[in-house]
């Protein structure tokens, strides 16, 4: 009699355990169509109970059946959880890849604009501003084109020679790569800002004077640029600023 009551109590505990487990799984994985599973488990427990009451099965035999079902349900729970996590990772990776590609495309085109801007600065200043601003702008532009273009071709990051030079100089001064990349970003934005803010001559057809340049003949560089170039420059600067912010957060 004692063994009978003990086996029955054990069965009831397992019946409650599988009921709670099925309810939790059905709620957790609702999108996988598991809502009906809870009612199926209830039917299974009821059927096993009827088999026991009709003397076709013992309480311990019924407990063993429920234990096997509990093990099976836990395996299903783990599998569904893994699939959901894997799907989330795939979505996040795709989203990150799409964003990265867009940023690299902007960076590549913006690098070309920097090269053009640096060359224009050298020509427009008759070489006077070439060493201080034009050449560094061209160097940054070429480096940006290389780094972003390499990623677009091979889907992996690679540092250009100029960034490596920044990192080498930073290492000599006792700093790390993050500090070097921050300095690179600051110079990159500063050069673009100088290009936009520099004073350039108004095109001759819009100039007021005929034989000499007066104050009103000069305009700022951004006034000469097209809307597309301005938008690209601002976007590129924002991207560089965001990358610098990410580096600062890591520190």
Q: Which of 36, 32, 12 is nearest to 22 (CA)?
A: 36
* Rounded Cα gap, residues 51 and 213, in angstroms: 106
119, 134 contact by CB (below 8 A): yes
User: What are 179-214's pLDDT values in tens digits?
Assistant: 998 888 888 878 776 654 454 444 444 444 444 433
Q: How far is CA 227 from the centre of its chain?
A: 29
The model's confidence at residue 220, banded by pLDDT at 50, 70 and 90, is very low
Please list the residues that pair with 200 across neighbouring strands.
219
Does this model's pTM top 0.75? no
Q: What is the pLDDT of residue 248?
A: 60
In whole angstroms, give the CA distance from residue 185 to residue 51: 75
Residue 31 is predicted with a pLDDT of 55
Instruction: Give the closest residue to 110 by CA, choosing from 3, 247, 235.
Output: 235
Contacts (Cβ under 8 Å, ≥6 apart) of 31: none
Q: What is the pLDDT of residues 51-86, one digit of tens each?
A: 888 888 889 888 998 898 888 888 878 877 776 666
Give the per-residue pLDDT at 187.
Answer: 86
- Pull the structure tokens for residue 154: 């091979």
Query: What is the per-residue pLDDT across 115-170, written as a single tens digit (0 to 9) for each?
Result: 877 787 777 666 666 777 778 888 988 998 899 889 888 888 899 999 999 999 99
């Amino acid at each position: 009699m004692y063994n009978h009551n003990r086996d029955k109590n054990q069965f009831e505990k397992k019946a409650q355990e599988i009921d709670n487990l099925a309810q939790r799984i059905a709620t957790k994985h609702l999108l996988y169509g598991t809502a009906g599973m809870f009612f199926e488990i209830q039917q299974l427990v009821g059927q096993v109970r009827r088999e026991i009451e009709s003397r076709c099965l013992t309480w311990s035999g019924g407990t063993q059946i429920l234990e096997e079902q509990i093990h099976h349900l836990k395996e299903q729970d783990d599998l569904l959880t893994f699939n959901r996590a894997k799907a989330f990772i795939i979505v996040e990776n795709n989203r990150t890849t799409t964003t990265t590609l867009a940023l690299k495309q902007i960076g590549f085109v913006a690098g070309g604009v920097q090269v053009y801007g640096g060359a224009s600065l050298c020509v427009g200043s008759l070489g006077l501003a070439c060493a201080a601003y034009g050449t560094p702008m061209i160097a940054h532009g070429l480096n940006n084109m290389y780094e972003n273009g390499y990623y677009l071709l091979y889907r992996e990051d690679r540092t250009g020679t100029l960034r490596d030079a920044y990192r080498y100089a930073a290492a000599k001064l006792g700093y790390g790569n993050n500090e070097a990349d921050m300095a690179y970003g600051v110079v990159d934005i500063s050069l673009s800002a100088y290009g936009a803010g520099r004073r350039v001559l108004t095109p001759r057809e819009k100039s007021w004077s005929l034989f000499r340049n007066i104050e009103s003949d000069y305009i700022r560089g951004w006034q000469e640029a097209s809307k597309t170039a301005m938008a690209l420059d601002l976007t590129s600067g924002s991207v560089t600023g965001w990358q610098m912010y990410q580096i600062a957060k890591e520190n």
